[in-house]
Amino acid sequence: MSRSLLFLFTLLAGCVAQAAVWTEVNQWSPAFETRFHEWVQNEWRTDFFSRKNLPNGQSNPYYGLRMDCADTVYSMRAVFSYENKLPFVIQDPTSSGKTISNKMSRWDGKDELTRVRSFMWFLYETISTRSLPNDTYPIAITRETVVPGSLMLTTKKNHHSWTVKEILPIGVPYLVYNSVVGAGSGFGLQERQSWPNPEWVFQGDASANGNAGFRYWRPEAYLNKPVWQVPGYSDEQYRVALSKWTRFAQDRLALRQETDQQLVTRLLKTTCEGFTGRVTSVNEGAAYLRSNPRCMDYATYDTYSTPNRDRRVFDDFMALRRAYREILSINGGNQLAPELIGQLNKIFPAITHTAAVEAAKMGVSTEDAVSVCVAEYLPGKKMDLAEFKRRLFAGHISNNPHDGAEYRWGDVRGPSQRAKSCQSWDPWSPDLTAE
């Protein structure tokens, strides 16, 4: 009798096991917001979802979650909420006036980790960069407001977003993000310690209506409320001319001035990462083309083409060029190490001229003592950053996946026969007039 009762009790207790995704024990408060900022700064890293084990040896509960840029932003807030038993509530993107939260009981009966991972997958197939304006608000640009855990969003035209891991003492954001979930993308995130091009971030609508720029999470009480009523709402960043935006923001956020040497080195590193990161993307496309030598449909073309990637590298080259040119005009480069000047002069051999003139004048660059960022872009073939810049600015680099690797890297001038005969989408070519 008693055994039967015990069995019945256990069975019923199992049935009523926690219904919510997780039970919230705490509530968001200034103290928890501060802990969130500290957590992002210390724990939010590019291998957050790709490392199998945590430093303490335990398996990573989030391993294998694959996400795009908006998913990454939401994941940052959701994971912290879960780990600290806080509510995670966002506006339901499919219906104005409703919310989605950790209280949902869809995965009732599953163990907690399965519920959490299922909830994350549910978020990923529901949210997007266009739902972020519902759940966040634009903030003033100060060190008190642009904090770890905030985010950057572009206008809908470029539909991209980044998490802010921290603001470096020099006033530059350390961004962690992800790009398009492609055929070969893994579970790792990406990072950059430099400003995205404001012309790209705010492209199409630089006013508050574009929803772009720095934003922070709305308190639950302000979901489904007009954004301008959220405490801390500021449209200040939309009142700054785009040509002065980066300078304005960096001056506001800097604790100390970045030296010329540090500035150029940082921009050079970002540009180099853009170049070397392209190798994997192009190789994936070239490999696909070798095994599928025919015209691609839109989805396949979109997966293997690189117009946005190439534009970002171009923007990084232009930012580096502007910075170097400004330094030269102010102090002649007397704060830069001679070795660095040599490297820069190789990349920008006609820095006093326009980018268009420089592109026309620039000759083939071979690997030598002042080469920087030398990469093996194809088996047995290497080029340095200067040569990649020459080819990119000359329009020899192809982002069309119908082109073979030799065309994609500008070894051979395209377009290839296949690229000519197959349909292509979303073309991009460098605009050298936009200095």
Partner 1 sequence: MKPISLKVWITWGVILFCLGVGSDYYFWHLLFQEKVGATQDAAMTPPQTEATATPEASETPADDSFISEIQGAVSEPTGEIKDNFLESLKACAPEVAAQAIATPEALMEYLQKSIGVKTEEVSVENFHLTLPDGSKRRVHVVISDNTNSTTKKEIRFFKLDAEGYPERLPLKGDETLKSLLAQGTQTRHEARLQLLLKDGSSVNLERHDQKVFEFQFANHGKVLSCRFKECLCN
Where along the sequence are the contacts to partner 1 (CB under 8 A)? 1-2, 5-6, 8-9, 12-13, 15-16, 19, 68-70, 92-98, 100, 104-106, 108, 122, 125-126, 128-131, 156-160, 180-181, 205, 207-211, 224, 226-229, 235, 238-239, 302, 305-308, 425-426
Q: Which is nearer to partner 1, 125 or 144 (CB)?
A: 125
Q: Which is nearer to partner 1, 59 or 105 (CB)?
A: 105
Q: Report the nearest approach of partner 1 to the CB of residue 253 (Å).
A: 23
Is residue 105 a contact partner of residue 20, using CB atoms and an 8 Å limit? yes
Q: Report the nearest approach of partner 1 to the CB of residue 203 (Å).
A: 8
Q: Report the nearest approach of partner 1 to the CB of residue 342 (Å).
A: 36
Q: Which two tokens stand for residue 185?
A: 């993308």
Q: Which is nearer to partner 1, 300 or 335 (CB)?
A: 300
Q: Report the nearest approach of partner 1 to the CB of residue 435 (Å).
A: 23
Q: Report the nearest approach of partner 1 to the CB of residue 86 (Å).
A: 19
Q: What's the chain's length in residues? A: 435
Q: Which is nearer to partner 1, 30 or 231 (CB)?
A: 231
Q: Which is nearer to partner 1, 108 or 112 (CB)?
A: 108
Residue whose entry in the numeric block shows the structure tokens 């980066």: 246
Q: Report the nearest approach of partner 1 to the CB of residue 215 (Å).
A: 15
Which contacts qualify for 372-379: CB closer than 8 Å, 24 or more apart? 372/268, 372/272, 372/343, 372/346, 372/347, 373/268, 373/271, 373/272, 373/275, 373/276, 375/275, 375/276, 375/279, 376/279, 377/278, 377/279, 377/282, 377/409, 378/405, 378/406, 378/409, 378/411
Q: Which is nearer to partner 1, 54 or 183 (CB)?
A: 183
Scored b (16 or more CB within 10 A) or e, 347-384 reads bbbebeeebeebbeebeebeeeebbbbbbebbeeeebb
Q: How far apart are the first and last CA of the chain?
A: 85
